[in-house]
Amino acid sequence: MRIAVACDHAGFPLKDVVLEAVLAAGHEIIDLGTFSSEAVDYPDYAEKVGAAIQSEEAERGILLCGTGVGACIAANKMNGVYAAICHDTYSAHQGVEHDDMNVLCLGPRIIGPELVRELVSAFLAARFVGNDPGQERHKRRVGKVRMIEAGQSPTNEAFDEHNN
């Protein structure tokens, strides 16, 4: 997979750890910056990762900012970008498996390098299971999220009847 990686100045100290973990997992990196610890704005880098996802230049993305919160909020404003902060390995893989998450947000002021390596590995090894027999509920739920994104209500009976 091609993985877009970006960070702000607060994420920069652990960016190399993320890049190494992506390479160790056998994936290609699209490094979208920042390239120093000089102060920058996290929304600029969240937008770069989101644009790479939207254009299909990258299949997944990883964002780092101080806590991961700001980058996550910014990334989720973009259609087709499904970002989550994960500071535990279960969420890092389950977010992909059940929720079709495509951007992992990390907070280097909260977690350290060893956990970052584990989180990146768990995120990249996971795959969405919604198309697997017996797992259709995840596809239905993700479909409802897509409806909300499109400004439609997922609680109407027609959707439930058609997608059960």
Looking at the structure, tell me whether residues 45 and 83 fall in a common domain. yes
Its domain, for residue 135, covers 130-164
* CATH assignment of the domain containing 13: 3.40.1400.10
pLDDT in tens, 6-33: 999 999 999 999 999 999 999 999 999 9
Spans in the chain with pLDDT lower than 70: 156-164
Hunting for tokens 């995840």 — which residue is that? 138
pTM above 0.85, yes or no: yes
The answer to whether 80 and 54 are in contact (CB under 8 A) is: yes
- Give catalytic residues, as residue numbers: 65, 98
For residue 104, CA distances in Å to 28, 49, 116, 136 come to 16, 11, 11, 23
User: Which residues are CB-neighbours of 111 under 8 A, at least 6 positions away?
Assistant: 87, 119
Q: Where are the beta strands (DSSP E) in 43-110?
A: 60-64, 83-85, 103-106
- State the pLDDT at residue 155: 87
**Rounded (10°) angle between helices 12-24 and 113-125:** 40
Number of domains the chain is built from: 2
Looking at the structure, tell me whether residues 91 and 147 fall in a common domain. no
